[in-house]
Structure 1
Amino acid sequence: MGCHDRLRGLSALVTGAGAGIGAGVARRLAAEGVQVTVIDRNPDRCDLLIADYPDQIRAEVLDLTDFSAIRAAVARSGPFDILVNNAGLDQHAFFTRTTEQDWTRLLRINLEAVFAVTHAVLPAMQARRFGRIINVGSEAGRLGSRGGAVYAAAKGGLIAFSKSLALENARFGITVNSVLPGPIDTPLLRKAVVTGGDKLLAAMQSATLLGRLGTPDEVAAAVAFLASREAGYVTGETLGVSGGMGISQG
């Protein structure tokens, strides 16, 4: 089986796919012959993806905090062989400067929406006895994050959720893995750099062994492998795509 045939004919759902890592994942899967449904709340960004791959990508425009809309979208567009839970939301603030509203908003997108999407998609995977679930987290969930305690807690929960689903669903032929990006060159990161300046960018780069930002395409390559038939013996794993950020330099 060639590398361009390992995903052909499968169907995928990718959340938060309008830009950055999610858009990179959607394009990579479509390029490998997957029929991709993307979820994003921005219709213009969805239209750009569809324009690139009109025969491979379709969109569900909705807010991931609306769990009833998620269930309806999955019912319309599913079933799916692959689920990529990518949507996420960050907020830089020391914990004592956050509010209950901040906690609710961050947990709702970064963790509860993952529960809702997965809960809607998983029964059909179980019935078909095949599935690939890839949860896109963050190295913050493994290492912690100064100024991002709630975000890190949600991403740490995502790792535990992925491992628990792997334990529950191996008997159905479903694999569940998480990918943990480090600092990735996305529009969201560039917006943070505008606020934080060159010192912030330098700090992000120096936190990695490779001394640079990653790209959405590099994360997408990892996701594509875990989604493929070739990765059928990989489950319950946590893969850092972070330039060695998770390795101690002491």
Structure 2
Amino acid sequence: MSGIRTDLTGQVAIVTGSTSGIGAAMAEALAENGAHVVLNGLGDATETEALRARIAADHGVEVRYHGANMLKPDEIADLVNSTVAEFGRLDILMNNAGIQNVAPVDEFPEAKWDAIIGINLSSVFHAAKAALPHMKKAGRGRIVNLASAHGLVASPFKSAYVAAKHGVMGFTKTLALEVAEQGITCNAICPGYVKTPLVENQIADTAKARGISEEEVVRDVMLAAQPTKKFVTYEELAGALLYIVSDAGANMNGSWISVDGGWTAK
């Protein structure tokens, strides 16, 4: 049996929410393996341009940026359609954009609920809907949704996030069944806790919600869920992504890879 390689040379990928954290790491992993990448996010313009230029220079691929707001379906459609207009194809869509808020249900701000459902769940639908005609025409495509361990299990004080990520898992399965005979796959990655800027912000919020110290949040709340007692790394998530989008992952469909240190094994 010949060795498995992940050669994405000439392919085109969109990664939503990719100006920092997991999204930026996933975009760079795709670029490192030869894919042209379109970044997306609402980060600082100077920092975003520096990231775009560095990834392009380091890996010799084309890297673009599109500032689509993931709460606006027309902007999401433009992200997809402008990518295809420029590159002539779309091979990989990674739905990564996400936000979080931590509060009890009876104190959960309604605007925060709507935003979390909109960005973490509805944007996945809108992006996939826009991408599918192009992928169907090409007879091939990979849609990867960043779900979460919270797409499989729940935790208190995260009602909107847990609801959204469970929705992402259901959407992933449904879409996979619809396109199974058209050369397109749809799968999810379910990380445990990764020390992203989003998680860093959660530490203080969770401490407030639970009435404990930030050190106790990390030890007794976050990493208590992960039997390895270690944060998941960007490199570990990139390995899962590269498998799914490679030829080796062609028959993985409607499924997920849990990268959570054993959290959901319990």
TM-score normalised by structure 1 residue count: 0.94
Q: Does the residue aligned with 1:73 lie in a helix, a strand or coil?
A: helix
CA contact (8 A) 2:227 2:263 kept: yes
**For residue 18 of structure 1, what is the aligned residue in structure 2?**
19
Q: Residues of 2 paired with 1:27 and 1:57: CA distance?
A: 10
Pairwise mapping of residues 160-239 of structure 1 onto structure 2 (< 5 A)? 160-194=170-204, 196=207, 197-203=214-220, 204-239=222-257
**What does the per-residue CA deviation read over 1:53-85, in whole Å, with 9 as the maximum and x for residues that have no partner?**
223321112211121112122211123100100
Q: Are 2:142 and 1:132 aligned?
A: yes
Number of aligned residues: 248
Runs of 4+ in 1 over 6 A off after TM superposition: none
Extract unaligned runs of 5+ from structure 1: none
Does 170-179 or 58-67 show the bigger shift?
58-67
Q: 49, 52, 60: which one pairs with 1:50? A: 52
Helix, strand or coil at the partner of 1:184:
coil
Contact 1:21 1:217 (8 Å CA) reproduced: no
Question: 8 Å contact 1:186–1:216 — kept in the other structure?
Answer: no
**Alignment match of 2:168 (pick from 152, 158, 162):** 158
The Cα shift of 1:3 comes to: 5.4
* Deviation for aligned residue 1:156: 0.1
- Which whole-Å CA distance do the structure 2 matches of 1:211 and 1:10 have between them? 37
1:199 deviation in Å? 0.6
When structure 1 is superposed on structure 2, of 28-37 and 44-53 the one drifting more is 44-53
Q: CA deviation at 1:44?
A: 3.1
Does the 8 Å contact 1:50/1:57 carry over to 2? Answer: yes
RMSD: 1.5
| AA at the equivalent of 1:77 | T
Partner residue, 1:102: 112
Aligned equivalent of 1:70:
76
CA distance in 2, matches of 1:199, 1:209: 16
Work out the CA distance in 2 between the residues paired with 1:75 and 1:104.
26
Give the secondary-structure state (helix, strand or coil) at the position aligned to 1:134: strand
Instruction: Tell me, in whole angstroms, the C-alpha distance in 2 between the residues paired with 1:56 and 1:215.
Output: 26
How far, CA to CA, are the matches of 2:47 and 2:23 in structure 1?
11
1:66 corresponds to which letter in structure 2?
Answer: K
Letter in 1 for 2:35: V
What is the CA distance between 1:238 and its match in structure 2? 1.7
Tell me the equivalent position of 2:42: 41
Tell me which amino acid in the other structure corresponds to 1:116.
H
Percent sequence identity is: 32
1:33·1:56 contact (CA, 8 Å) conserved in 2?
no
Residues 22-56 of structure 1 deviation map (CA, whole Å, 9 limit, x = unaligned): 01100100000011111112233421321222233
Deviates more, 1:96-105 or 1:152-161: 96-105
